[in-house]
Amino acid sequence: MFATPFLDLPPLDSASGTVVLPGSKSISNRVLLLAALSGGTTRVHDLLDSDDTKVMLAALDKLGCGIRHTGNTVEIDGLAGQLKTSQADLFMGNAGTAIRPLTAALAVLGGDFSLHGVPRMHERPIGDLVDALRQLGCRIDYTGQDGYPPLHIGQPTLTLGAPIRVRGDVSSQFLTALLMALPLVSQQDVVIDVVGELISKPYIEITLNLLARFGISVQREGWARFTIPAGSRYQSPGDIHVEADASSASYFIALGAIGTCTGGQIRIEGVGAASIQGDIRFVEAAEQMGAQVVSGPNWLEVRRGNWPLKAIDLDCNHIPDAAMTLAVMALYADGTTTLRNIASWRVKETDRIAAMATELRKLGATVEEGADFIRIQPLPNAQEWRAATIHTYDDHRMAMCFSLAAFNPASLPVRIEDPKCVAKTFPDYFEALLALSQTATAHIPVLCIDGPTASGKGTVAA
């Protein structure tokens, strides 16, 4: 992983080859918590090794889970719904997939727990989840600003008779957190009512799929009411494999659409047509823009089709994370692209609508942003592109998206600030990108190393 303050990407001319993707963050952190709550030992294969999963593993270790690592397999001795410690101070980094479900699970089980993270985490809303848990009798206090972490969790006095109401229009992670926590206290049927339009439904489908793998069969009425049957109990499936990350696949699908030349292709291994992740539908959006995609059960092959790419006007509610990649693809389109229904971008690792607009403008694009949309006019002529230093806002997806701007027709370099932020989900992203990419010899930087005999010049050069 690049650990420099910035990474200068040379102008990239073309791309081809095969990439094997890391595991899904969304699946990894859900599986880790479900394994921890279950009875028995779970062997999690192909777990994503990233900042967010390390945060979750550290928290589970503090809560008393037995955790053993062997390569990319982790064995977790579950707690069978009974915590081994009643007090802990838990650092959650900037991992929404860790703090939200863990807050819900600890709140219904009770104890003396503090949860906090990096400054950006303390700006990400959690109030709707806390309000829903307080309806049950959970004791949760804000120790900073109301509606946001950090939090303190105490001992609950649970009442489960009435349906629990939770907003669905800010983050699907609030509903996911309740669905994962409430089987722990399902002495009777537990009903969750979603207030407002539920966004990011594919992420709820991931949650329901994984709950079933751990023995919990949730009944639902459309997307408005979910019922956890009385007597539900978590049980380890023994072994479970983590799919490769469909959101990460979007960068390499885009790479195939932008960077491949005649006869070349990008093959993506680890995720394909059979994926349980909603972001696999990014393939459909890429095809609308002109990519040629062939898919198998756990692989994709992508080639450039239409060039320039076709502009699109798309409701992106079903692919909120992967849709960011479309915003950079829009630079290579034949008209104005509009991405709609993306209000959830505002409450992610950064305000992604504002951040995306700011950085696209640095490259020379004309961008309009609204509360829940972004509209991008392309850069059809090489003269309109500008060399730019991209600020990444400690947001892994900003860094990965904007690496694709290095394929610009003006042959301009792109500087990515804080490239190590990709460690949140894909620590080796830039190595993978550059391994697939080609550039003119004149664009390859040369580093000269001088020094006396036996100083290590040869070793460093090798």
Angle between helices 25-37 and 51-62 (to 10 degrees): 10
Phi, psi of 326 (to 5 degrees): -60, -30
Instruction: Give 387's DSSP letter.
Output: -
Pairing of strands 266-269, 292-295: unpaired
Q: Cα separations (Å) of 370 from 32, 322, 324, 345, 377?
A: 36, 19, 15, 11, 15
Let me know: does 418 contact 4? Beta carbons within 8 Å.
Answer: no
**Catalytic choice (46, 52, 279, 321):** 321
81, 184 Cβ separation under 8 angstroms: yes
The answer to whether 334 is a known catalytic residue is: no
Interacting residues of 219 by C-beta distance below 8 A, sequence separation 6+: 226, 227, 229
* Per-residue CA distances from 450 to 125, 232, 278, 444, 462 (Å): 52, 67, 52, 19, 14
Cis ω on the peptide bond leading into residue 308 (within 30° of 0)? yes
- Chain length of the chain: 462
Q: Which residues contact 462 (CB under 8 A, 6 or more apart)?
A: none
Q: Find residue 373's DSSP bridge partners.
A: 340
Active-site positions read 321
